[in-house]
Amino acid sequence: MADYNVIVIGAGPAGYVAAIRCAQLGMKTACVDKWVNQEGKASLGGTCLNVGCIPSKALLDSSHHYYFLQKQAATHGIQCKDLSIDVAAMQARKNEVVTTLTKGIAGLFQKNKVTSVEGTARLLGNKEIEITAFDGSKQALTAESIIIATGSVPANIPVAPIDNQFIVDSTGALAFDSVPKRLGVIGAGAIGLELGSVWSRLGSQVTILEALPNFLAVADRKIATAAQRELKKQGLEIYLDANVTSAKVENNEVTIAYQDKKGEQQLVVDKLIVAVGRKPHTDNLGAAEVGVQINERGFIQVDEYRQTSVRGIYAIGDVIGGPMLAHKGSEEGVMLAERLAGQKSEMSYETVPWVVYTHPEIAWVGKTEEQLKALGTEYKVGQFPFAASGRARAHGDTSGMIRILADAQTDRVLGVHIFGISASELIAEAVVAIEFESSAEDLARTIHAHPTLSEAMHEAALGVDGRMIHA
């Protein structure tokens, strides 16, 4: 008889959610995790909670408060003199947020009777895993089902080797003990833009080098163009089509060589962040050895219900590719847990929202205008600027817009794209609309409270048929 019905390897957003849901559905569940914090203590939550989503948002919030007081408070009649930055206090607050939430997951495990196992797991085959504890001791556990949720790690590039002092990855960029005077960032994806925004608002001169020719190539072009223009106004220098060829540390500074359309270029900075994406974390897992198929990029191969090539072994989250987003992994965990319990859960990847936490924020769900053109789909567009929103103007954040793309024949909402204040919250309404196959008319007929930012969604929906009231 197996020790557990389910063993989950990894306690990030995919793993811990899967473990909790499995336990809620009556399965005897264990979750194995090897993360240790700076104090050498076990810390649940994976990358997202410990050195990713949560700490970055804590610092983003701190940096926004400082930026507001320095640049915008005067317009509200608030006079601030002798402003200063205490980076140590910011970091302490960030760490407190992380600690509180990691303890919260431990509490949820206890509440739902999930057994938490500290250590590194390795697949042995025959539904057995070996766990090496922090003290080196080993134990073997068996389960009817094993869920791999080991997540991802920052991708590195040979031309910019990480030294964790002058050249850092995203983890290191969240732990600076002072504001760099000159900061370089390789990569203008979500991570690079968010980290660049943090330190720019705190006073860094930030230069971002992106190898691709288009800014935020995965986003709607009009949204991306507006965002790029606004970020430049805020002081972020973003160079596209810039391929880094070397990064060398000399005399306590980093000299970066890169090529663009003009030829060889050089940039000298005090710190360099390498933010070129993430790669699946399967090191020492033993997955390939037991027959689990892994593709050429290192991602575990699964079917539509997240089963690997080995019966009884499943995988979810970043380790299987697709959108490498915490909420995508969590929903995969719920879906898989419910299917293991005999339910018929499904998951739609068409309704996974994307968010870039700059200020203003960028968010979208569904198809972009460029994708619809490529598919040959006839569509209508409704676009409403936040400059025409009473609430946005009262708040003092009028940059950006909401764009709704709807099928020209059926009026079904196909995509919603937002650049503006609170985009990360506003996108939820769009997700619901697409999930329930709503029409733009459904959104247009839905009463939105006044004055709210959500009225911009209402107006954009009206705009699909050319009947906006306030623009």
Per-residue pLDDT band for 31 (boundaries 50, 70, 90) equals very high
Selection from 74, 11, 2, 1 nearest residue 37 by Cα: 11
In the chain, the amino acid numbered 81 is K
Q: Residue 220: what pLDDT?
A: 97
Q: How does pLDDT run across 239-277, given as a tens digit for each residue? A: 999 999 999 999 999 999 999 999 999 999 999 999 999
Domain boundaries, the chain: 4-153+279-349, 167-273, 360-463
Write the CATH number of the domain with boundaries 360-463: 3.30.390.30
Q: How does pLDDT run across 72-128, given as a tens digit for each residue? A: 999 999 999 899 999 999 999 999 999 999 999 999 999 999 999 999 999 999 999
Mean pLDDT of the chain: 97
Is 327 labeled as catalytic in the residue annotation? Answer: no
Residues 97, 99, 105: CA angle, nearest 5 degrees: 105
pTM of the full structure: 0.96
Q: Say how far apart CA 6 and CA 292 lie, in whole Å.
A: 18
**Active-site entry in 281, 450, 458, 470:** 450
Q: Residue 22: what pLDDT?
A: 98
- Domain at 167-273, CATH homologous superfamily: FAD/NAD(P)-binding domain (3.50.50.60)
Selection from 392, 262, 274, 278 nearest residue 329 by Cα: 278
- Domain at 4-153+279-349, CATH homologous superfamily: FAD/NAD(P)-binding domain (3.50.50.60)
Contact 375, 386 (CB under 8 A): no
Residue 39 pLDDT exceeds 90: no
Say if 4-153+279-349 and 167-273 have the same CATH topology. yes
